[in-house]
Structure 1
Amino acid sequence: MYNPTVARLTYRALLGRRRAAILFILPALLIVIAAAVRAFSGADDQVATDVLGGFAMATMVPLIGVIAGTGAIGPEIDDGSIVYLLAKPVKRPTIIITKLFVAVGVTMAFSAVPTFIAGMILNGNGQQIAVAYTVAALVASIAYAAIFLLLGTITRHAVVVGLVYALVWETVFGNLVAGARTLSVQQWSLSLAEKIATPGAISSDVGLPLGIVLLAGVTAAATWYAGQKLRTLKLAGEE
């Protein structure tokens, strides 16, 4: 279910000069913010939680997921170059699984690593906050990559739809509207962070068992449906 050639081509597309520059912006901004906050306010657990929860988890991780998830397959479908890949003797579910692995890896690298660095800068992992948010970023990366990879297979406007979801649903509704929080990848991931951190340091509107079930379920469903959508793409000679 994993094809090294497909993975290599996908990594090359995702980490091209222009896309890689975009991927570096948000992590760099998070670290700069963390350093500035630490310089002005010193080590403060509540401030660390506010920065990592309000910027890293609510904004940076989903946006990087949009870039990596949609970029893993969307451009190939948009410009028609996907036909060259589909013409190869590679099963279509294998293509999806491979691209998901790549998207997850890129999302994790550009979200979890800077989250940990920022957490250590902010409070030196006091109350296990840095580690807790890093784990949350890791598991959120998997779900976001699967969701946005699916978007890349079902619409030519995947980036726009993904940005609306990331900025409106996850950032605004996921933080401000109580009922919507239970349907937020951010909150599902924070259920793990809440368990890891010192009691009371981090809170989530979703319990840990439900959070794990929802993360696994959404990831599996999105991956399966993306594979089904790719099956429906027909090459000219297949009609």
Structure 2
Amino acid sequence: MYEPTVARLTYRALLGRRRAAILFVLPALLIVIAVSVRLLAGADDQIASDVLGGFAIATMIPLIGVIAGTGAIGPEIDDGSIVYLLAKPVKRPTIIFTKLIVAIAVTMAFSAIPTFVAGLILNGNGGQIAIAYTVAALVASIAYSAIFLLLGTVSRHAVVFGLVYALVWETLFGSLVPGARTLSVQQWALSLAERIGANGTITSDVALPTAVVLLAAVTVAATWYAGQKLRTLKLAGEE
């Protein structure tokens, strides 16, 4: 199910000079914010939770997921270079699965690691906050990568739709409409963080069993459907 050649090409595309520069901006900003807050406010569990929840989970990780998930396949479909990959004797679901693994790895690297470092800077992992949000980042990376990879497969405007979901649905509607939070990757990830964190500084509107089921279901469904959509792409000369 994992194709090394596809993985190498996908890593090369995602970590090219321009895209890698974009990926580094948000983690760097998170670290700058964490250092500034620590110097100005000292070590405080609630402030640490607010920074990690408000910026890392709500903004940084979805945006990195959009870049990595859509970038893993969208540009190849847009410019037509995907035909060279599809012409190879590799099953199309294998291509999707491999690209998903790469997108997850990149999203985790650029989100979970800086989230953990920022948590240590903010309060030295007091109340297990750094670890809790790191786990949330890891889990969210999987679901976001699957969702945005699917968008990259089905639409030429995947980045736009991804940004709408990440910034409008999860951030805007999620803060104004309680029912919308049930369909939020952010809230599912926070449900796991809430179980790990202490002092009640991390909260989620979704119960842990529901969050786990939804995370697994969305990831599997998005990956499966992306594989099915890739099957429908026809090469010149195919019957």
Aligned residues: 239
Q: CA deviation at 1:139?
A: 0.3
Q: Secondary structure at the match of 1:156?
A: coil
Distance in 2 between residues matched to 1:31 and 1:87, nearest whole Å: 43
- Tell me whether 1:218 sits opposite 2:212 in the alignment: no
Distance in 2 between residues matched to 1:173 and 1:107, nearest whole Å: 24
Distance in 1 between residues matched to 2:116 and 2:167, nearest whole Å: 22
**What are the ranges of 5 or more consecutive residues in structure 2 without an aligned counterpart?**
none
Q: Give the counterpart letter for 1:46 in structure 2.
A: Q
Distance in 2 between residues matched to 1:150 and 1:90, nearest whole Å: 19
- Tell me whether 1:31 sits opposite 2:31 in the alignment: yes
Q: After superposition, what is the alpha-carbon deviation per residue over 1:132-184, rounded to whole angstroms, capped at 9, x for unaligned?
A: 00000000000000000000010000011111111111222223321111110
Q: Secondary structure at the match of 1:182?
A: helix
**What are the ranges of 5 or more consecutive residues in structure 1 without an aligned counterpart?**
none
Q: After superposition, what is the alpha-carbon deviation per residue over 1:199-223, rounded to whole angstroms, capped at 9, x for unaligned?
A: 5121100111110000000000000
Counterpart residue number, 2:15: 15
Q: After superposition, what is the alpha-carbon deviation per residue over 1:55-98, rounded to whole angstroms, capped at 9, x for unaligned?
A: 00000000000000000000000000000000000000000000
Counterpart residue number, 1:173: 173
Equivalences for 1:50-89 in 2 at 5 Å?
A: 50-89=50-89
Counterpart residue number, 1:96: 96
Counterpart residue number, 1:49: 49
Equivalences for 1:82-231 in 2 at 5 Å?
A: 82-231=82-231
Distance in 1 between residues matched to 2:203 and 2:72, nearest whole Å: 33
Q: Give the counterpart letter for 2:42 in structure 1.
A: G
Q: Secondary structure at the match of 1:238?
A: coil
Q: CA deviation at 1:113?
A: 0.4
Distance in 1 between residues matched to 2:119 and 2:86, nearest whole Å: 43
Q: Secondary structure at the match of 1:233?
A: coil
Distance in 1 between residues matched to 2:237 and 2:85, nearest whole Å: 14
**Considering only aligned residues, what root-mean-square deviation do their CA atoms show, in Å?**
0.7
Distance in 2 between residues matched to 1:94 and 1:26, nearest whole Å: 31
Runs of 4 or more above 3 Å deviation: none
The answer (yes or no) to whether the contact 1:174–1:186 under 8 Å persists in 2 is no
Distance in 2 between residues matched to 1:124 and 1:135, nearest whole Å: 16
Distance in 2 between residues matched to 1:169 and 1:109, nearest whole Å: 25
Q: Secondary structure at the match of 2:183?
A: coil
Distance in 2 between residues matched to 1:115 and 1:176, nearest whole Å: 26
Q: Percent identity?
A: 83
Distance in 1 between residues matched to 2:86 and 2:16, nearest whole Å: 22
Distance in 2 between residues matched to 1:102 and 1:198, nearest whole Å: 33
